[in-house]
Structure 1
Amino acid sequence: MKKKNFISILIVSIISFNSLALNPKAFTEEENKKLVICIDAGHQKKGDSKLENVSPNSSNKKPRVSQGTEGISTKKPEYVVNLEAAAILKDLLVEKGYTVIMTREEHDVNISNAERAEIANKSKADMTIRIHCDSLKDNSKTGATLLVPSSKGSTKDIFDESNKYAEILKSNLKDNGVKVNGIFERNDITGFNWSRVPVVIFEMGFMSNSCEDAMLCDQNYQRKLMSIVADSIDQYKDGIKGLKN
Structure 2
Amino acid sequence: MRKKIELLVLLLALAGIYTVSRNLEKYVQSDQVKSEQERKMDLVVIDSGHGGSDPGKVGINEVLEKDINLKISKQVEKELKNKGYQVVMTREKDQMLAGETSGNSKIQDMKARVDLINEKAPGLAVSIHQNSYHEEEIHGAQVFYYSHSAEGHTAAKLMQQALLGADSENTRQEKANDTYYLLRRTQVPTIIVECGFLSNQQEAELLAGKDYQKKIAKAIATGIDEYLRNAADGT
The answer to whether the Cα contact below 8 Å between 2:159 and 2:223 also exists between their aligned partners in 1 is: yes
TM-score by length of 1: 0.71
Aligned counterpart, 2:211: 220
Read off the aligned partner of 2:131 and give its amino acid letter: D
1:170 aligns to 2:177 (yes or no): no
Query: What stretches of structure 2 of length at least 5 have no aligned partner?
Result: 1-39, 99-108
Gaps of 5+ in 1: 1-32, 48-66, 152-158
> AA paired with 1:81?
I
| Distance of 2:124 and 2:210 partners within structure 1 | 24
What is the CA distance between 1:113 and its match in structure 2? 1.5
Write the distance in 2 (CA, Å) between the matches of 1:238 and 1:147.
Answer: 20
Q: Tell me whether 1:77 sits opposite 2:68 in the alignment.
A: no
The alpha-carbon deviation at position 180 of structure 1 amounts to 4.2
| Matched-pair contact (CA < 8 Å) for 2:41–2:122 | no
- Give the 3 Å change call, closer, same or farther, for CA 163–123 of structure 1 in structure 2: same
Question: What is the total number of aligned residue pairs between the two structures?
Answer: 184
**1:242–1:145 CA distance, 2 compared to 1 (3 A):** closer
Offset of residue 120 of structure 1: 0.9
1:109–1:207 distance in 2 versus 1, CA, 3 Å: same
Q: Secondary structure at the match of 1:104?
A: coil
The percent of aligned pairs where both chains have the same amino acid is: 26
Q: Does the alignment pair 1:128 with 2:125?
A: yes
- 1:1-26 Cα offsets, whole Å, 9 max, x none, are xxxxxxxxxxxxxxxxxxxxxxxxxx
Residues 199-238 of structure 1 correspond to what in structure 2 (within 5 A)? 199-238=190-229
Q: CA RMSD in A?
A: 1.7
Instruction: Measure the CA separation in 1 of the matches of 2:131 and 2:171.
Output: 12
Q: Residue 86 of structure 2 aligns with which residue?
A: 99
Counterpart amino acid of 1:69? K
Residue equivalent to 2:22: none
Q: TM-score, normalised by structure 2?
A: 0.74
**Amino acid paired to 2:67:** V
3-state SS of paired residue (2:122): coil
Residue identity in the other structure for 2:111: A
State yes or no: 1:68 paired with 2:68: no
Task: Give the 3-state SS of the residue equivalent to 2:196 in structure 1.
Answer: strand
Map Cα deviations across residues 129-160 of structure 1 (whole Å, 9 max, x no partner).
Answer: 10000011111111011110122xxxxxxx11
Give the aligned partner of residue 45 of structure 2.
Answer: 38
